[in-house]
Structure 1
């Protein structure tokens, strides 16, 4: 099998036999799925093609060869994730060759793929976010009050889902967080066990008061958000409820908790441009995390600047 085109003249016949033996090994002894074996075959053909261009036998491939080929794949536009999958296939092949005493060491062992750029988090547009926050279901008043309060806190205060489900009704030594309604503040336990205070908006306060009224007494459970069985909600339950609610609300994109957190940050930046304040509200230890998290918002602000600011319209070369 040759995934890279017609056979290359420099291919070593013995290499083909080794590859076939290895593929038989993973197919029979490791019992890998047929599709997985097929992908391994494609990756190993790519390895053979690279080796043929040196030329060098597969058993003579060394670490510098692998690093050179990784750089070549990266320069040709293959993603870091794609290269990582190829390296995984090569690494397994050379591990097997080592067990056969055919190579002195694994040339792929300490080679890592280039880092891929982090994908931009998805955020709702302002209109969609407001539509979602304003949605109300008449199916079950108890569930509706709870879910509406969760949406208001996630979007209105930018909480992580773990921070949300960790909230208790009242402050205590054991509490991981709580909402102080009189002061309109949420005290949350974030990453690294760091506590931060986050403002709670007026709409969220109204939703929380309604939820607490309908929640009912449950002395054995301190959690603010509970399920119908009286236990603290899990992050997975919140994900499911938001997805279902967003479909009911008529949104084109299913909503998950982190999407609301990013929407909070995105809309805050669009309104205030105060990156430091957004960093503090999100609980990011480093400003660089906030910058990566809100790249789309800077693109939006840059376009607005170019369109509106007098100094952005100066002709090039007029300095």
Structure 2
């Protein structure tokens, strides 16, 4: 009940107003939250009006249909989840008031949000990062960071695989690079070993780093070390790569896994061979690799939008 007397079950506007007064005064919700609830309930009342049904008589099939309309209209799964939360509170309150005997929103869920695409650099940006020279750095640091960049982008290594590399093969080595064969042998997820080809640019960068490394080498067998001879940590590499990307003029700070995504996307764009990319990345399931086909499609869509006469906005435009 409210101060004005019994609520009329045939007055949708009155029910909405009474509920908003309840959350504003009774629950003392912030004005911003009340404003959001107001908008959500106006949308609900509009849907109900179009369907010719009073709010207390709304059924689950109505709610599902309205969710589908919002989703097809471009509303995000997260946005729909927030709307449903507002509707759910409204119908919980109606039930407590004895106005409705059912709850049409209780078991309804928002559409699942699609997994976000992994972030990959444009080819030009990846090449710019790889070719960048940090002139203000110690030559040894520059050689090391350049080699790290080339291996992450040129081989698609995970950061754990990279920091696990040793200078030479041994029974205890988690990974190493065979310069003569041009192959990196790494220990990936699930303790699975795989071999990855190392390109000419990465091999040249590795030779430069090995020459500079001799001045730093201590007792650690690690390929990538700091000036005191200790094996680099993943965090250290993240910081150095971010710094390098900003100095190279890239608008997006780069992290190691972004280079792995860029490697996969660029190889797929050039070859179209999904199975080969799966092997190079060390994915046990090709479904994991298929996300890069979406990146590849985005690239093709951008090329189409930029080049096709029928994609440029109408007659006479070029």
Superposition deviation, residue 107 in structure 1: 4.5
- Say if 2:159 and 2:256, in contact at 8 Å, map to a contact too: yes
User: What residue number does 1:291 align with?
Assistant: 290
Q: State the alpha-carbon separation in 2 of the partners of residues 98 and 108 from structure 1.
A: 12
TM-score by length of 1: 0.70
User: What residue number does 2:66 align with?
Assistant: 69
Superposition deviation, residue 231 in structure 1: 6.0
User: What residue number does 2:128 align with?
Assistant: 131
Question: What 5-or-longer segments of structure 2 have no aligned partner?
Answer: 1-9, 304-318
User: What residue number does 2:233 align with?
Assistant: 233
User: What residue number does 1:203 align with?
Assistant: 201
- Say if 2:168 and 2:176, in contact at 8 Å, map to a contact too: yes
User: What residue number does 2:149 align with?
Assistant: 151
2:44 corresponds to 1:21: no
Deviates more, 1:72-81 or 1:44-53: 44-53
Q: State the alpha-carbon separation in 1 of the partners of residues 33 and 156 from structure 2.
A: 41
Give CA deviations for 1:34-74 in whole Å, capped at 9, x if unaligned: 6555434433443343345453335x655333322211212
User: What residue number does 1:314 align with?
Assistant: none
Q: State the alpha-carbon separation in 2 of the partners of residues 20 and 195 from structure 1.
A: 63
Task: Indicate how the Cα distance of structure 1 residues 200 and 82 shifts in structure 2: closer, same or farther if over 3 A, else same.
Answer: same
User: What residue number does 1:315 align with?
Assistant: none
Bigger Rg over Cα: 2
- Report how many aligned residue pairs link the two structures: 289
- Say if 1:265 and 1:294, in contact at 8 Å, map to a contact too: no
- Say if 2:95 and 2:101, in contact at 8 Å, map to a contact too: no
Task: Indicate how the Cα distance of structure 1 residues 17 and 34 shifts in structure 2: closer, same or farther if over 3 A, else same.
Answer: closer
Task: Indicate how the Cα distance of structure 1 residues 120 and 16 shifts in structure 2: closer, same or farther if over 3 A, else same.
Answer: same
- Say if 1:270 and 1:297, in contact at 8 Å, map to a contact too: yes
Task: Indicate how the Cα distance of structure 1 residues 164 and 172 shifts in structure 2: closer, same or farther if over 3 A, else same.
Answer: same
CA-based RMSD = 4.0
Q: State the alpha-carbon separation in 1 of the partners of residues 218 and 26 from structure 2.
A: 58
Q: State the alpha-carbon separation in 1 of the partners of residues 93 and 162 from structure 2.
A: 50
User: What residue number does 2:186 align with?
Assistant: 188
Question: What 5-or-longer segments of structure 1 have no aligned partner?
Answer: 1-8, 305-319
TM-score by length of 2: 0.70
User: What residue number does 1:257 align with?
Assistant: 256
- Say if 1:227 and 1:233, in contact at 8 Å, map to a contact too: no
